[in-house]
């Protein structure tokens, strides 16, 4: 049968209208389904209390679920939820970039010669070479060790004064090297570590490492010849932090390190655990046993207390040496 033009036009109009009606029904059904499914998945995820849900409405706790494309319960910066288990704690969990900046608040002040040198990333990179640092004991022990290390090194590099903005203990890490560069600090008896011609081994870096034998030992430990290039401690922030961490982790004549006295209990051979023990190792001959905390020791303790407060951990025992 051959349809006339009018009949033909009416026939196709009817077909087109029916198709539009079907599409509209499906569109609204799809929209309703999408809304309901999102609502249901959101409720399930929220009732579970954990988990990130992807754009495909699949939920889980690993990075694959929480990365770009996450729609529900997404953690910040697309990172997966971190475990609260003490065994999983690493240095960046214990001290964040923001907390590091709070602790060393004025290190980048215009009046500090070390402005821009001591960075959080350099600190973290250096710590990775010393696996036992801030990873021994429970979470409070680990936090106290971080506070102790940064406090002792802040005292050595401080640019603060009594009436300084935010107090004298907010000015750690202001200096990179000893203000007087006249002394060479060369010990001729340390023949194993002969000094290089024209080089001086005055205090540099967070712990203000001095003398040719200390530069030699530190360099040997971190794999760099610091006898020939001691200036690296003042020009490479990672190397600088590594020398301080080397000193912190390495036992001295008492066969105890700063790390040991911050992470162990008192011992039968007379080692006193606690922050005061680290002062004894660093500068005990000058500051300890003076019938009360000397001015330098008070400064060390002041930094330590401030940092413990920021880390939300108790001070522990034996603050004085």
The CATH code for residues 177-241 is 3.30.20.10
Gap between the Cα atoms of 118 and 122, Å rounded: 7
Look up the CATH number of domain 90-175+251-321: 1.10.530.10
Question: Domain coordinates of the chain in residue numbers?
Answer: 90-175+251-321, 177-241
- What pLDDT score was predicted for residue 64? 43
* pLDDT tens track for 257-293: 999 999 986 565 666 789 999 999 999 888 888 766 6
Torsion of CA 96, 100, 102, 106, to 10 degrees: -150
Q: Is the pLDDT of residue 67 over 50?
A: no
Averaged pLDDT, 144-153: 98
CA proximity to 155, closest of 314, 278, 238: 278
Q: Which of 14-18, 82-86, 211-215 has the lowest mean pLDDT?
A: 82-86
List the catalytic residues.
156
In three-state secondary structure terms, 270 is coil
Q: Are 119 and 167 in contact (CB under 8 A)?
A: no
Q: Inform me whether the pLDDT recorded for 83 exceeds 50.
A: no
Residues in CB range of 127: below 8 A, 6 or more apart: 91, 133, 134, 241, 245
Residues 44-58: what's their mean pLDDT? Answer: 44
How high is the pLDDT of residue 293?
64
Helix (H, G, I), strand (E, B) or coil at 273: coil
């Amino acid at each position: 049968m051959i349809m006339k033009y009018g009949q033909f036009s009416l026939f196709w109009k009817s077909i087109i209208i029916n198709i539009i009606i079907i599409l509209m029904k499906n569109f609204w059904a799809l929209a309703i389904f999408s809304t309901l499914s999102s609502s249901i998945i959101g409720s399930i995820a929220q009732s579970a209390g954990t988990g990130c849900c992807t754009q495909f409405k699949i939920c889980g706790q690993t990075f694959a679920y929480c990365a770009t494309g996450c729609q529900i319960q997404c953690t910040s910066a697309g990172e997966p939820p971190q475990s609260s288990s003490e065994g999983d704690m690493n240095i960046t969990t214990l001290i964040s970039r923001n907390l590091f900046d709070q602790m060393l608040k004025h290190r980048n002040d215009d009046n500090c010669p070390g402005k821009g040198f001591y960075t959080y990333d350099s600190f973290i990179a250096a710590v990775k070479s010393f696996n036992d640092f801030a990873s021994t004991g429970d979470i409070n022990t680990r936090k106290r060790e971080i506070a102790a290390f940064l406090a002792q090194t802040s005292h050595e590099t401080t640019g603060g004064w009594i009436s300084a903005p935010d107090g004298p203990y907010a000015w750690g890490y202001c200096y990179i090297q000893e203000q007087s560069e006249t002394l060479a600090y060369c010990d001729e008896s340390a023949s194993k570590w002969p000094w290089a011609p024209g080089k001086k081994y005055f205090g540099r870096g967070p712990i203000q490492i001095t003398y040719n034998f200390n530069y030699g030992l530190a360099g040997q430990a971190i794999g760099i010849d610091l006898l020939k290039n001691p200036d690296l401690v003042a020009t490479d922030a990672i190397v600088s932090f590594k020398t301080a961490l080397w000193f912190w982790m390495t036992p001295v004549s008492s066969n105890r390190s700063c790390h040991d006295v911050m992470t162990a209990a008192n011992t039968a051979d007379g080692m006193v655990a606690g922050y005061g023990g680290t002062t004894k190792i660093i500068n005990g001959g000058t500051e300890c046993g003076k019938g009360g905390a000397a001015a330098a020791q008070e400064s060390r303790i002041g930094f330590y207390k401030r940092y413990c407060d920021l880390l939300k951990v108790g001070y522990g025992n034996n603050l004085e040496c």
